[in-house]
Every structure is written in C-alpha cells, then in structure tokens.
A and B are shown apart, each in its own frame.
Chain A
Amino acid sequence: MLQENNLENIITTKDLSVFYGTTQAIHKINLNIPRNRITAIIGPSGCGKSTLIRCFNRMNDLVPSARVDGEVVYSDQNIYGTEVDPVHIRRQIGMVFQKPNPFPKSVYENIAFGAKINNYKGNMDELVEKSLRQAALWDEVKDELDKSGLALSGGQQQRLCIARALATEPELILMDEPASALDPIATLKIEELMQDLKEQYTIIIVTHNMQQASRASDYTAFISIDRTRIEERVGVLVEYDQTSKIFVNPAEKETEDYISGRFG
C-alpha cells in the first residue's frame, strides 16, 4: 500500500472479528487508520461496514448478542480491554449517523447538552459558538440559537449533529453515511466541512456513494463479502489504499468490479 511518509495511525485493528450470536459479521480485519486524514469505508450492503466502525467507539456493546474478537488499538490501548470505560471512549470518538438526529431541543441546547453531562467547566456560550463555527453552521443559526434543532433543514440538522459531536472535543469522528439523506448542495457542504475538520480531527466515513468516497477521502478501504463463505455473508477487507489509487487503478479485480458498478 502506498503510504504517505510519517503518518501516525490513530486506530489499528488487529484480526478484528464481530459476531452477532452465532452469525459472524466481519472476519479478521486488519486496518491502520491514519491521523488527520479522512478514511472512507466502502462496500456492498450487508458487508459489515457499519459493524466495523461501530467497533471503533464500542457502539456494538449496545447490541446484546454482539461479540468482538481481536483488538482495536486506540492511543496505545485495546479499547476492548476490561479496564476501559466505553463512555470515556465515546467521548473521544464522536459519531454522526445517516439520519440527522438532533435532540428535540434548541440549537444551543443540542450543543451544550453533551458538555453539561460531561461537567464542562468552561464558558458554554463560547463552546456553542466554537462548535457551530467548526461545523460551518454558525452564520446560519447565530440569530436563532433558541430555535428548535428540528426546525432546521436536513443539511443544517446534520451539521448540527456534527457540531454536537465536536463539542465534546473528540479526536476521531465516525460518520455513517452522513449525507445519504441530503440533497447535493447539503452533501457538498458536509464534504467541504470534512476537509476543514481534518486539520484537527480524524474522520472515518462509511458511504455507499463512490463519488463521495473519491471526492472526500484520502484513504479508502473496500470491504466485501468473503467469496469463500458467500452463504454466511461474512465481511472481509479486500483492499485498502490511498483513494487515488483505489479509484484509478485498484489492485484487486473485486474492487474494480465493485467501484465500476459491475457487482454489488
């Protein structure tokens, strides 16, 4: 794999497998996620993309039958270690979902809520403004901070959710199809925002949209169904490389077929 020089990894997975009950969702995935870069995860429906990124902040813990094998190393520690508090992890690793899900509260409260429960001691007004500015939403909402978050447009709601994630000052932001419910203009705004954010944060984005992955990311991981276990639909990592390589000259035929729309 072509690697940029001096790239530090923020997350490393080691033989990461996830099971739901007796069903295996992903099998022995080994990935290095570089810091201050945008990494896209692509692959056909049901191949385990969301399962994979939900391992990065232990969201899979919330599914009772889920079991994780292997390691997710973040800040030199396996986040599945027994001594690790998943709430602490989720504070450092924020998440944005497919459908914008602001709290049914004011714009201001949406941002301040997380900080309050984390006993934030700083100036709350400043935190709200800073987070909204970082999410490129401030200019649009600064005069109506007490308006309900649900009254914003879909694109604004999604940026509000990004601002909410930023307010807890995470290192890594996971985005699970953050733009699939948005129109093209709102989508481009999110993608531009991602480029601004990567100066300070690391972003992992799951997307079904090849153009989005090629436009917005620096690295791309292609996950697909293990060809030797098609019946079981187990997700494996097929190819991982710089985005420019994946979309111009991928090494694997399976990647080629998927990104050029010939299967999946």
Chain B
Amino acid sequence: MARELFGKKIKQIQDEILLLGSMVEQATLDSVRVFKNRDMETAQTLVEDDQNINDKRFAIENAILILMATQQPLAHDLRLLASMLIVTNELERMGDYAKGIAHNAMRLGNSTIPVPIRNIEKMADLAVSMLHRSLSAFINEDIKIAVTLPKEDDQVDALFNESYRSIVKTMIADPETIDESSTLLWVVHNLERFADRVVNICERTVFIKSGEMLEMDGSDDEMDEF
C-alpha cells in the first residue's frame, strides 16, 4: 500500500491533537475549580501553564505544514490536514478561555458578590464533555456525532443566558458591584464561546468526510448583544 508513511505521520499528529485537547479540557476544569475556591496560587500556575498549550499548538502546526510541503496532500488528505490546522487553532483559543477564567479568579480575589457557581460548573462540565466527544468524532471522522453534538450547545447557551440575567440583576441591585460582576460576565462568556468552538470542530469533521462546508452554529455570539 502506497502512502503508508504518510498515514503514520497523520496518525502521530492526530495523537498530538488529542493530547492538546486533553490539556485544554484539564485546564478548563482546573480553572473553574480555582475560580470556585479562589485558589490564587493555582490560578497563577494555570495562567502560566497556558504557555504549554501554546507551544504544543505551534509544534502541531509545524508538523502539519511539513506534511503539506513534503506530501502535497489532495482531496481527503488535503481537507484533513487543513482541518487539523483549524482545529489546533480552535484548541489553542479554548486554552486561552481557561487561562482567562483563572485570571478572572485572581481579579475577583476575595470578593463576596454572589456567583452563579452551579451554572458555571455545569457549563464547564458540559462544554468539556462536548469537546471530548467532538475530538473523538473528529479523529474517527464520525459524521453522525459531529452533526448531533452541536445541538447540545443550546444547553450551554441556556445556562449562559440564565447566568447573564442573574449577574445583571446583581449589578442593578448594587451598582457598586458592576466592576466585579463584569468579571463574572467574562467567565460565563468564555465558557459559552468554548462550546461554540466545539461546534466549529464538528463543522470540520463534516468537511473532512463530505467536503461540505456546513454552518452548524445557530446561536450568535452572545457578547455581540451586549
């Protein structure tokens, strides 16, 4: 069979993407935990550790570019490598959201404003679970999962809207909390955008498999409405 080496190299990159994905998942769950516990020390470590995610992203990107230059992929191979570049970029941005949450934990410090922590935890669990399954579907080119998964984004959006309303309510009730409450808005926004990027990954899976560029994200960026 021709192209055996090429296949092996693609497999290696896919493994690295899965690894990057698990780094992002862990960083997200950790960031929400330190946010809940206001664990400043770990929050600082998480902010610094984002560099590892960025480094891994560049290493993967480089490996993909080398493969493009040396193997001149076409058709499915071309769609696969192009999509891997995009998904790697999505993961790096999702890592930034985790970093942002840790950063906001530090900004909030020992503030006593009411935090919709249960919603935030739910959003994080849901979004991380979506990411995990979307990456499996991406690697396995499982179009069925890729098409159904984005519907779960509605649940994340609903939690976002609920949290948004409660945070704004706090702002109205006590304008002195506006500064701290806006920090909270960033946290829920980051989780909401995280799930949107999962949808982007699903779109890429569909593209690899079918060549179709489908827009699967029905919801707008919630921040645009601010």
Contact = CB atoms under 8 A, between A and B. Distances in A.
Interface string B55-98: 00000000000000000111111110000000000000000000
Contacts of B79: 248-249
A37 to B, nearest CB: 21
B211 A260 contact: no
Contact of B1 (A250, A259, A262): A262
Given A248-B211, A249-B211, A256 B76 contact: yes
Contacts of A263: 2
A210 interface: yes
Interface residues of A, number: 14
A210 B77 CA distance: 14
B68 to A, nearest CB: 12
A214 B78 CA distance: 13
B2 to A, nearest CB: 5
A250 B78 CA distance: 12
Give the interface residue-count category, chain B: 10 to 19
B8 interface: no
A122 interface: no
Given A210-B72, A211-B72, A249-B211, A262 B2 contact: yes
A261 interface: yes
A175 B72 CA distance: 24
Contacts of A247: 74-75, 78
Contact of A256 (B6, B75, B210): B75
Interface of A: 210-211, 214, 247-250, 255-256, 259-263
27 contacts: A210-B72, A210-B74, A211-B72, A214-B74, A247-B74, A247-B78, A248-B74, A248-B75, A248-B78, A248-B79, A249-B79, A249-B210, A249-B211, A250-B75, A256-B76, A259-B74, A259-B75, A260-B3, A260-B73, A260-B74, A260-B76, A260-B77, A261-B2, A261-B3, A262-B1, A262-B3, A263-B2
